[in-house]
Amino acid sequence: MTKGYWIARVDVRDAEAYKDYVAANGAAFAKFGGRFLVRGGAHEAVMGPARSRNVVIEFPSYADALACWNSDLYQAAKAKQRGGVEAEILVIEGYDGPQPTASEPAPEAGAASE
């Protein structure tokens, strides 16, 4: 089964409201099997604008990721933000198909070709 993810880019505007949200959101994530892959941490915007905080949460499936977002439990936690954040949040299906393979290395300089 393909996993589901939340990808969130966040600027915190009200630190106290955000602390209340963080204290309350864990129950919803646990209920739907969510686990943090990225939670803040160092980052560098290499293309496009950045937000101050980035989060990636993995769920057992895309359906679980959406169900968590839509749950009363998560929406109650989200309400504790009280408008204290600006964010973009995606709920996205993972990819479980073929992956790229390493290509043949380039010949060394000066090597004879066959």
Q: Say if 114 falls within a structural domain.
A: no
Q: Check residue 104 and give its pLDDT.
A: 65
60 CB-near residues (< 8 Å, 6+ apart): 1, 3, 4, 32, 33
Number of domains forming the structure of the chain: 1
User: Is 50 inside any structural domain?
Assistant: yes
Residue 18 lies in a domain: yes
The pLDDT score that the predictor gives to residue 112 is: 58
Token pair recorded at residue 2? 């393909």
Q: What is the CATH number of the domain that holds 80?
A: 3.30.70.100
**Domain contains 12:** yes
Helices marked H in 1-114: 15-31, 62-70, 72-79
Residue 103 within a domain: no
Write down the pLDDT at residue 102.
Answer: 84
pLDDT tens by residue, 91-103:
999 999 999 988 7
In a domain, 35, yes or no: yes
CB atoms within 10 A of CB 61: 16
Kindly report the pTM of this predicted structure. Answer: 0.85
Domain that holds residue 40: 4-93
Top pLDDT among 106 and 68 is at 68
**pLDDT at residue 83 is higher than 70:** yes
